[in-house]
A and B are shown apart, each in its own frame.
Chain A
Amino acid sequence: MAEPFKRYRCSYCGQEYDEAEGWPDDGIAPGTRWEDVPDDWYCPTCGAEKADFEMVEIS
């Protein structure tokens, strides 16, 4: 069974990246896993780097 999609949150502005949705505006297709998001992708809201995102705990 495929691993559930996860969400990652920018620690500077709260912008979330949802693996299920991807980020089509930046050419990142829905379903793109976090590890497959290019390392030079940056937060579309505040510009923080990929490394500044934290996984959102599923509660």
Chain B
Amino acid sequence: MQIPANLAQTIVDSRAYAAGDPVDEAFRTIRAEMPLAVAEPEGMEPFWVVSRHADIMTVEKQPEIFHNGDKSTFLTLKEMDPMMRFITGGEPNLIRSLVSLDGQEHKDLRAVVFPSVTPKALRGLEEEIRKIAKSFVAEMLAKAPECDFATDVAFLYPLRVIMTVLGVPQEDEPFMLKLTQELFSSADPELNRDRKEVNPAEALDGLRRTMEDLEAYFGVVTEKFRANPTEQVNSLIANAKVNGEYLNRRQLMGYYIIAATAGHDTTSNTTAGAMWALAERPHLFEQLQADPSKVNAFVEESIRWVVPVKHFMRSATQDTEVAGQKIKAGDWMMLSYQSANRDETVFDDPFEYRIDREPNRQIAFGYGAHVCLGQHLARMEMRILWEELLPHLKTLELAGTPQRTISNFVCGPKHVPIRFTLN
């Protein structure tokens, strides 16, 4: 079955994601009428749209059949593929990171950082993260009665946390934030490399220049941590060996870049979106004030609600079947987390923000072998921020219209103006 052109166009349209509702409406129709069907938006290779929660789990549980890295791991135009392969020496993805790896290489590389990000290992960081949260809360409170919660808090706090975990000095944070935003927001003239409207080829060139800056930066990081190893994550990456060899240049750079960028941008988007939801819902604010133990449920629901990673792509390595649908070897597939987290068969009132979902089966971190490596850190740092902030707030409301980034991949609110009073 073919998804009608208007729907296919909407679910890849960065501006539709910035608007929000058009994408949710399109996926609502797709889930109901063609939950696993082919889309062929203009300029793109056709791909299956996997819109249901259960079908995404089915695909993600079979990483040997559905590969991440044989084709582009995220939506891209057909014309970009040869350029990408030219730049990378034959690979379909600009960055060779965990999200684009398969098989033993993925297992080996994931194992480098995994022991540092288990809940057990993270408990040792709680105090340090709380100190960081307190400092950002204090800065925000000093701005009372108004601030842009996205730019003043949500972008900066997760950045400080992840840079601390990685071992990046504080003075380098603005540089890392700028490059992360350039990397994930190439379609947004406010945040992309050239700070203007760009065509796809210009966007790719901007990404290439951003990559060069990141590689130059992390080249020095490797030297530094090989000379003086620490327990910090960048040091683990710099000194990791697989079969007795250091990671190669593409693996090293991919690892540093994914940790330093996806490690905070996703949490920033979710934190900003959580505040947007809270500021619009006085009953939710009252509920959390009355029962602070609901903060974990609030965090989980904000992850479901914001879905900071809108999709990942997979490609089939063999002829197979998903939910009765025949998939051919080589077929490209879009796993829409945005859609799965609104799946009516899994969530009651999926378009309502509710903190009474027990359990909350949100799937924004993915599932199976590729489940987000930093998911426990993300939950922990968000919980700590809200624990530190909420007791200080007496009233809270929006002070303007929030705005989302123009992107169809990793994105969320970029401005969340709020007005608040203090206890």
* Cβ–Cβ contact B376 & A48, under 8 A: yes
CA distance A13 to B359 in the complex (A): 14
Q: How far is the CB of B122 from chain A (nearest CB, A)?
A: 9
B367 engages A14 (CB within 8 Å): yes
Contact between chains at A47 and B376 (CB < 8 Å): yes
| Shortest beta-carbon distance from B201 to chain A in Å | 38
* B368:A47 contact, CB within 8 angstroms: no
Contact check, B371 vs A13: say whether CB atoms are below 8 A apart: yes
Say whether A32 faces chain B, with CB atoms less than 8 Å apart: no
Residues in A neighbouring B367, C-beta threshold 8 A: 13-14
* Interface SS of B by simple majority: helix
Q: Is the CB of A45 within 8 A of B368?
A: yes
Q: Which residue of A lies closest to B118 (CB)?
A: A47
Q: Which of A11, A15, A45, A49 contacts B119 (CB 8 A)?
A: A49
Distance A12 CA – B60 CA, assembled complex (angstroms) = 13
- Inter-chain CA distance A14–B60, complex, in Å, is 10
**Contact A14 B120, beta carbon cutoff 8 Å:** no
Judge whether B61 and A48 touch: CB under 8 Å. no
Complex contact B120–A47 (CB within 8 A): yes
**Residue numbers in B under 8 Å from A29 (CB-CB):** none
Complex CA gap A45/B120 in Å reads 14
Rounded to whole angstroms, the CA-CA distance of A15 and B359 in the bound complex is: 17
User: A48: which B residues are within 8 A, CB to CB?
Assistant: 118-119, 376
Interface centre among B61, B359, B369, B371 (most CB of A within 10 A): B371
Asked if A23 is at the interface of the complex by the 8 Å CB criterion, the answer is: no
- Indicate if A57 sits at the interface (CB-CB under 8 A): no
Q: Is the interface of A mostly helix, strand, loop or mixed?
A: loop
Known contacts: A48-B119, A49-B119, A49-B120. The answer to whether A13 contacts B376 by CB under 8 A is no
CA distance A42 to B116 in the complex (A): 13
Docked-complex contact A46 and B120, CB < 8 angstroms? no
Complex Cα–Cα for A15 and B114 (A): 15
Q: Which residues of A contact B37 (CB under 8 A)?
A: none
The reply to whether the CB of B375 lies closer than 8 angstroms to some CB of chain A is yes
Task: Give A28-59 interface residues, CB cut-off 8 Å to B.
Answer: 40, 42, 45-49
Would you call B225 an interface residue if the criterion is a C-beta within 8 Å of the partner chain's C-beta atoms?
A: no
* Given the contacts A13-B368, A14-B367, A47 and B57 also touching, CB distance less than 8 Å: no
Residues of A within 8 A of B118 (CB): 42, 47-48
Asked if B371 and A12 make an inter-chain contact with CB atoms under 8 angstroms apart, the answer reads: yes
In the complex, the answer to whether A45 meets B369 with C-beta atoms within 8 Å is yes
Q: Using Cβ atoms and an 8 Å threshold, which residues of chain A touch B60?
A: 14
- Interchain CB contact (< 8 A) of B375 among A12, A15, A40, A42: A12
Which residues of B (113-143) have their CB < 8 Å from a CB of A? 114, 117-121
Pairwise interchain contact A11-B359, C-beta atoms closer than 8 A: yes
**Does chain A have a CB within 8 A of B409?**
no
Q: Report B-chain residues with C-beta under 8 Å of the C-beta of A47.
A: 114, 117-121, 376
Q: Is B347 an interface residue (CB 8 A)?
A: no
B353 CB-CB contact with A under 8 Å:
no
How far is B368's CA from A45's CA once the two chains are assembled, in angstroms? Answer: 8
- Of chain A, the residue at the smallest CB distance from B365 is A12
Separation of A15 and B371 alpha carbons in the complex (Å): 10
Interfacial chain B residues near A15, Cβ < 8 Å: 368
B375 contacts A46, CB within 8 Å?
Answer: yes
* Per-residue A-contact encoding for B356-372, CB less than 8 Å = 1, 0 else: 00010000010111010
Near A by CB (< 8 A), chain B positions 355-408 give 359, 365, 367-369, 371, 375-376
Q: Compute how far the CA of A46 lies from the CA of B375 in the bound complex, rounded to whole angstroms.
A: 8
B188 → A minimal CB distance (Å): 31
Cβ A42 vs Cβ B120 within 8 A: yes
Which residues of chain A come closer than 8 Å to B121, judged between CB atoms?
A: 47
Interface residues of A in 1-34 (CB under 8 A from B): 11-15
How many Å lie between the Cα of A48 and that of B121 in the bound state?
11
Beyond A42-B119, A47-B118, A47-B120, whether A14 also contacts B57 by CB under 8 A is yes
Q: Which residues of A come within 8 Å of B, CB atoms?
A: 11-15, 40, 42, 45-49
Known pairs A14-B368, A45-B369, A47-B119; list 6 more (Cβ under 8 Å). A12-B365, A12-B375, A42-B118, A46-B376, A47-B114, A48-B118
Can you show 22 pairs from A to B with CB atoms below 8 A apart? A11-B359, A12-B375, A13-B371, A14-B367, A14-B368, A14-B371, A15-B368, A42-B118, A42-B119, A42-B120, A45-B369, A46-B371, A46-B376, A47-B114, A47-B117, A47-B118, A47-B119, A47-B120, A47-B376, A48-B118, A48-B119, A48-B376
